[in-house]
Amino acid sequence: MKKILAILVVAVMSVALFACSGGTTPSASASTEASTEASTEASASADADGGTTAGDGNYTIAVVPKDSTNPWFVRMEEGVAKYQEENPGMTVFQKGPAETDAAQQIQVVEDLIAQGVDALCVVPHDPGAMEDVLKKARDQGIVVITHEASSMENCDYDLEAFNYDEYGAYIMNTLAEAMGGEGKYICMVGSLTNDSHNMEADGAIAAQGKDYPNMELIDERIVTDDNAETAYQKAKEVLKKYPDIKGFVGTSSFDAPGAGRAIEEAGLIGKVFAVGTGMPQTNKELLDSGAVSALTLWDPADAGYAMCKLATLVLNGEEVGAGTDLGLDGYDSLTLDGHVLTGSAYITLTKENVDNYNF
Amino acid sequence: MNKIKKLTHQTEFYIFLVIIVLALIIQARSDQFFTGNNLVDLANALIVPALFSIGTFMIIVSGGIDVSFPALAALASYIVTVVLNGMNYTGPIIVPFIFAGAIGLACGAFNGLFIAKMRLPALIATLGTQSVFRGILQGALNAQQINTLPPSMKEFGQSSLFVSQNADGVTSMMPTAFLALVVVVVIAFIILRYTMLGRGIYAIGGDESSANRAGFKVVKTKFFVYCFAGVIAGITGIIRACMMNMVHPTNMFGMEMTVIAAIVLGGTSITGGTGTLTGTILGIFLLTMVQNSLIMLGVPAYWQDFMTGLLIIIGTAVSSVQILRSQKQRKPSLSKAGS
């Protein structure tokens, strides 16, 4: 009897845990205070470049990132806050789940739908899992913009900072330069269901196949759960399993830094190279020591701003398509494919220029 | 002979066998398991989960449960780092440890208050406090990743007891933090083995009212267990921050399930009263080993979660079968005594 009870307790516990974590109030980080400091001039100029009078455009726009503590999305919030500042008539805020978790993120979106926002800008953790709830949002007339989810069907537009194949190729070019165009390399992704990470990895592999015949892919994808510690432990394991490895392609912002820490500890700086997405200030030391050869990224603040701008254009009923200008470098002449709008906004960080990016 | 027979009746022995078999398989597949580097890497990966498991083990033995410790650890490490950074702290490493231990103590006492004094169900209470700790962290403190640690914490995280080096010159560091694990294991061992408090923890987990009649102070003992686990969790949070050279508020969330699974895997009864520290350490070692060997084993990424789950089930089944067997063997002797 006691044993059955024990099993029941464990079962209830795990269910309760999921239920509870799903229900935890995500850290609300609405930046509505920002609106008060905003100048009226800014709003005037925003109206002007919108082309039409947005006088009735007192929209509520919510941005939902994958995770509210990840510095990437903290930086995105700066762009969102900037948009709020320029448009004091609107309510623009960012609200994300407490941790990178598809179920929690869906819960946040559900809550926002219930609040009756005008537009949702979502960076989905698991696009497939997000389809239903975004369909529900659109059925209620909410404008849906997604980012980093080009396969998403239930959205008005998906906005991409760049084409993932091109970005993957860009990472590969940077890595190949560090590796001298030869040697074995492996790809790391946050999860196997993450569109952007896996498309970048595919793009990197395709570029290698085309341009770097002396490089060789280790055909295995390392899953790091978007967690710095996991990336570090897995990279150490890879170094043991493949002693002749020479390069790591990182796609999550924790991958290349995690691999860098492993390379540094193993005493392999200058022999093994890590290149991939990563934040400048977080990884300054790793760049300086050479543990990470170079980081590639786009500015998440710009992406946050551009999503809000795009949502406003759609809400205003303006025409959006190839050549649309969202008023930012890299987003000034978008290309359209289906409902995917793509910019060309990527940058490389090295130890020489890392100090120019203060986030 | 008798000793061997006694050994085969212990769950720990079977967990140990599973570890050996798995180690041999990994060695055969990768030729890398029994290398200095790999063992040092495993010890490195073991520190944080093993520290968590010791406090939680004592709670489970006392008949309780705790799922709040990762949130507690995150909260303690975050507050300590922010405060020390704010005052440009440059003093010795012992201060952050004591500071984090104190925050852990306060949070543990908070748990203890609800569970020992107010007799709330432990699972519900700690699920609640888990949300409270997370809420403080992410709502009130608006916690974000911290990239710069006070110098002594950074040094501690990067210092090593020794550095292992394999044939082609690749090195692995044995972090100084491993000593903290050793110290905590020794303290917990002494408490459980040689003090009346430790016997009380087992007695209360076995049967609370009998323990009470036997003269054990139930409320005080339970309160102590949650405080002790809180202190360990707080210090573990700081150790994780030092080793990663950053504070990441959500990094440890989710570890509670692995830790509790490891404790049960190690032969501890989830309802309390029985279990050993050795079993717990073996259990957490097995899970850490599985998590850090799947690439070396050549398990494809799609199958890694499956493999982890499967090994938890196999390991727990081995210990359950063992418990069942020993119960069957005990029954006849009991009836004899009764007649």
Chain A to chain B Cβ contacts (< 8 Å): 121
- Provide the pLDDT for residue A2: 53
- Which B residues, 242 through 261, put their C-beta within 8 Å of a C-beta on chain A? 244-246, 248-251, 253-254, 256-257
- Provide the pLDDT for residue A8: 53
Nearest-CA neighbor of B260 among B276, B240, B280?
B280
pLDDT in tens, A11-28: 545 444 444 443 333 334
- Which B residues, 290 through 309, put their C-beta within 8 Å of a C-beta on chain A? 291-293, 295-296, 298, 300-302, 304
Is this model's pTM higher than 0.80 or not?
no
Positions of chain B with pLDDT lower than 50, given as ranges: 333-339
- Provide the pLDDT for residue A353: 87
- In percent, the amount of chain B with pLDDT more than 70 equals 96
Cβ atoms of residues A330 and A359 within 8 Å: no
Selecting from B32, B147, B256 the residue whose C-beta is nearest the C-beta of A282 gives B147
- In percent, the amount of chain A with pLDDT more than 70 equals 84
pLDDT band at A304 (very low <50, low <70, confident <90, very high): very high
Residues 6+ apart with CB under 8 A from B156: B93, B176, B177, B242
ipTM of the complex: 0.86
Indicate yes or no: CB of B250 within 8 angstroms of CB of A98. yes
pLDDT above 60 (res A78): yes
- Which B residues, 28 through 47, put their C-beta within 8 Å of a C-beta on chain A? 30, 32, 35, 37-38, 41, 45
Q: In terms of CA atoms, which chain A residue is nearest residue B48?
A: A229
Which residues make beta-bridge pairs with B317?
none
Indicate yes or no: CB of A17 within 8 angstroms of CB of B67. yes
Look at residue A354 and give its three-state secondary structure: helix
pLDDT above 70 (res A204): yes
Q: φ, ψ for residue A195 (rounded to 5)?
A: -55, -55
Task: Return the ∠ at Cα B251 (arms to B65 and B38), rounded to 5°.
Answer: 95
Q: Which of B295, B313, B323 would best serve as a mutation to test chain A binding (most A beta carbons within 10 A)?
A: B295
pLDDT above 70 (res A300): yes
Cβ atoms of residues B237 and B77 within 8 Å: yes
- Provide the pLDDT for residue A3: 57
- Provide the pLDDT for residue A214: 95
Q: In terms of CA atoms, which chain A residue is nearest residue B34?
A: A240
- Provide the pLDDT for residue A311: 94
- Provide the pLDDT for residue A231: 94
Selecting from B45, B145, B253 the residue whose C-beta is nearest the C-beta of A99 gives B253
Q: Which long-range contacts (CB under 8 A, 24 or more apart) does A340-343 make?
A: A340/A150, A340/A157, A340/A158, A340/A160, A341/A157, A341/A158, A341/A159, A341/A160, A341/A310, A342/A159, A342/A160, A342/A162, A342/A163, A343/A159, A343/A160, A343/A161, A343/A162, A343/A306
